[in-house]
Amino acid sequence: MTNTTITGGLGAMAATPLTGNRMGKGDTPGTWFEAMASAWGQTLDSQASQIEQMSNSIGNGTDNPSQVVKLTTESLRMSFLSQSSSSSIDSVGKSLETMARKN
């Protein structure tokens, strides 16, 4: 098996559409790369909602120190998730770009 065959196979896999409606775009299936980005987006949306709820609770008068610490913790978790999603999407994108150049 030559390197071209391996690279070609990986390149084809990277662009392979998913089956079914995994991307929420009606009937249009996306690629696994889009599915990964969507999963990160959903995770970040969920974390943002949790932070918003906690922030609203503090804004409504339950601003005791333990609640503020929990909000700070969730905000730091959001930062970690955001940086992780950016890094992983960037890394995979660069890998796909490298594979595309080798084909």
Percent pLDDT > 70 in the chain is 71
Q: What is the pLDDT of residues 5-29, one digit of tens each?
A: 344 444 455 555 555 555 555 544 4
For residues 49 and 7, give the distance between their C-alpha atoms in angstroms, rounded to a whole number. 41
Find the angle CA(68)-CA(74)-CA(79) to the nearest 5 degrees. Answer: 125
Q: Helix/strand/coil (H, E, C) string of 30-91?
A: CEHHHHHHHHHHHHHHHHHHHHHHHHHHHHCCCCCHHHHHHHHHHHHHHHHHHHHHHHHHHH
Residue 12: predicted pLDDT: 53
Q: What is the pLDDT of residues 39-87, one digit of tens each?
A: 999 999 999 999 999 999 888 887 789 999 999 999 999 999 999 999 9
Report the domain count for the chain: 1
- Whole-model pTM: value is 0.67
Q: Which domain holds residue 82?
A: 3-102
Q: What is the pLDDT of residues 52-64, one digit of tens each?
A: 999 998 888 877 8
